[in-house]
């Protein structure tokens, strides 16, 4: 039996164990701590804001559509939209001007108070008509008794049973009853005209209320609902007083001075230079 191969195993095992021990006990590569140099930077806070757009063009510009705002009621301008300046963009249906509505609010309150007073007067008139009708029925009954007493007293006076003065007293009582009945009938006859007058006054007060409400609605001016607009030069400023004048042309109302005239986004009508027409003439002789 050969022992030479077996004698080689212990050195090999010892070498393997030594290699394992050396690897396990060996420290890793040295690490050098360091920081990268800081770089200076600028930080800005971005805030949302409206920017007026500008455009540079060469040629003639005109608005595709023009809308002129006019005041239909008089009063002092108490508020103006801050963007009501040439070049700004105003969205559709945006309120741009507000006229002082105090006078129209007072007129509306007064008209409503008049309407309430007329309603109370109509109720009182109805009660008066009912009371007068009841009193008239009583006075007619008393008149019938007075006429019957007058007839009987005249018959007795003709027979000589009662003196003539008694017949005269009965006649005076009858005349007084007739007068009372006539006055009550006249009072009832005046009830329908008084009712008609109250009805007319109610219609007038209702028209005044509608007029005041319409004026209140026109105390605010808003941009058109069909498109957004860019205002042009406007004479309306806070504290300015508007007074409507009779309409002219196709305009419903106009104001002196005119209210602001917001315009739509202008579009170029020509982008190049305009050439003057050449003049043709005859050569001098």
CATH code assigned at 96: 2.40.50
Instruction: Using CA atoms of 99, 103, 107, 109 in order, give the dihedral in degrees to the nearest 10.
Output: 90
What share of residues in the chain are helix, strand, coil (percent, to 5)? 45, 15, 40
Range of the domain at 143: 102-210
Write out the chain's pLDDT in tens, 285 residues.
Answer: 455 666 667 777 777 777 777 777 766 666 666 666 777 888 888 888 877 777 777 777 677 778 777 788 888 888 888 888 887 888 888 888 889 999 999 999 999 999 999 999 999 999 999 999 999 999 999 999 999 999 999 898 888 888 888 889 999 999 999 999 999 999 999 999 999 999 999 999 999 999 999 999 999 888 888 777 777 776 567 777 777 755 544 333 333 333 443 333 333 333 333 444 444 444 443
- 226 located within any domain: yes
Confirm if 241 and 76 have CB atoms less than 8 A apart: yes
Q: Would you call 207 helix, strand, or coil by DSSP?
A: helix
Please give the pLDDT value at position 60: 74
- Within this chain, do residues 106 and 177 fall inside the same structural domain, yes or no? yes
Looking up tokens 């963007």, which residue turns up? 83
pLDDT at 6: 64
Same domain for 116 and 175, yes or no, is yes
pLDDT number for residue 105: 95
Burial-class residue 220 by CB neighbours within 10 Å (0-12, 13-18, 19+): middle
Q: Are 271 and 59 in contact (CB under 8 A)?
A: yes
Q: Are 142 and 177 in contact (CB under 8 A)?
A: yes
Nearest to 256 by CA among 70, 59, 37, 17: 70
Query: In whole angstroms, how far apart are CA 12 and each of 7, 17, 156, 278?
Result: 10, 9, 180, 115
| Domain-embedded: residue 130 | yes
Domain annotation covers residue 11: no
Same domain, 174 and 225: no
Q: Looking at the domain assignment, is residue 113 inside a domain?
A: yes
69 CB neighbour count, 10 Å cutoff: 22
Task: Look at residue 51 and tell me if it is in a domain.
Answer: no
Question: How far apart are alpha carbons 240 and 257 in whole angstroms?
Answer: 9
- Tell me the residue ranges of DSSP E strands in 129-285: 220-222, 230-231, 241-242, 244-245, 254-255, 262-263, 266-270
Q: What pLDDT was estimated at residue 119?
A: 96
**Based on the domain organization, do 152 and 240 belong to the same domain?**
no
Strand partners for 263: 66, 230
Overall number of domains in the chain? 2
Could you tell me the pTM of the whole model?
Answer: 0.58
Within this chain, do residues 109 and 162 fall inside the same structural domain, yes or no? Answer: yes
- For residue 110, being part of any structural domain is answered with yes
Question: Are residues 115 and 205 part of one domain?
Answer: yes
Same domain, 169 and 237: no
Shared domain for 81 and 153, answered yes or no, is no
Is the preceding omega at residue 257 within 30 degrees of 0, hence cis?
yes
| 43 occurs within a structural domain | no
- Do 151 and 180 lie in one domain? The reply is yes
Listed residues 210, 230, 251: the one ending a domain: 210
Please answer whether residues 262 and 229 qualify as being in contact, where contact means their C-beta atoms are separated by less than 8 angstroms. Answer: yes
- Is 232 a member of any domain? yes
Whether 225 and 257 share a structural domain: yes
Distance, CA of 239 to chain centre: 20
Is residue 128 located within the same domain as residue 178?
yes
User: Are 107 and 162 part of one and the same domain?
Assistant: yes
CA dist 264 and 65 (Å) reads 6
């Amino acid at each position: 039996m050969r022992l030479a191969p077996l004698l080689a195993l212990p050195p090999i095992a010892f070498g393997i164990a030594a290699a394992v021990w050396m690897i396990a006990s060996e420290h890793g590569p040295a690490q050098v701590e360091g920081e990268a140099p800081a770089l200076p930077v600028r930080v800005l806070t971005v805030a949302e804001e409206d920017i007026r757009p500008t455009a540079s063009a060469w040629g003639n510009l005109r608005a595709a559509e023009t809308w002129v705002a006019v005041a239909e009621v008089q009063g002092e301008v108490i508020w103006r939209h801050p963007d009501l300046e040439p070049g700004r963009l105003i969205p559709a249906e945006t309120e741009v001007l507000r006229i002082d509505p105090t006078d129209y609010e007072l007129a509306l309150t007064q008209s409503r108070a008049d309407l309430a007073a007329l309603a109370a007067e109509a109720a009182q008139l109805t009660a008066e008509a009912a009371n007068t009708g009841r009193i008239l029925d009583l006075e007619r009954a008393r008149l019938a008794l007075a006429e019957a007493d007058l007839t009987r007293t005249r018959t007795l006076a003709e027979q000589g049973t009662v003196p003539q003065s008694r017949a005269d007293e009965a006649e005076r009582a009858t005349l007084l009853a007739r007068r009372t009945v006539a006055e009550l009938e006249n009072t009832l006859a005046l009830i329908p005209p008084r009712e008609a007058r109250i009805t007319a006054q109610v219609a007038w007060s209702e028209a005044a209320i509608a007029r005041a409400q319409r004026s209140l609605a026109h105390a605010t001016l808003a941009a058109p609902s069909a498109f957004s607009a860019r205002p042009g030069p406007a004479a309306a400023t806070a504290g300015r007083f508007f007074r409507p004048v009779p309409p002219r042309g196709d305009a419903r109302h106009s104001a002196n001075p005119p209210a602001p005239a917001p315009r739509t986004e202008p579009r170029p009508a020509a982008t190049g230079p305009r050439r003057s027409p050449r003049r043709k003439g005859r050569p001098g002789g």
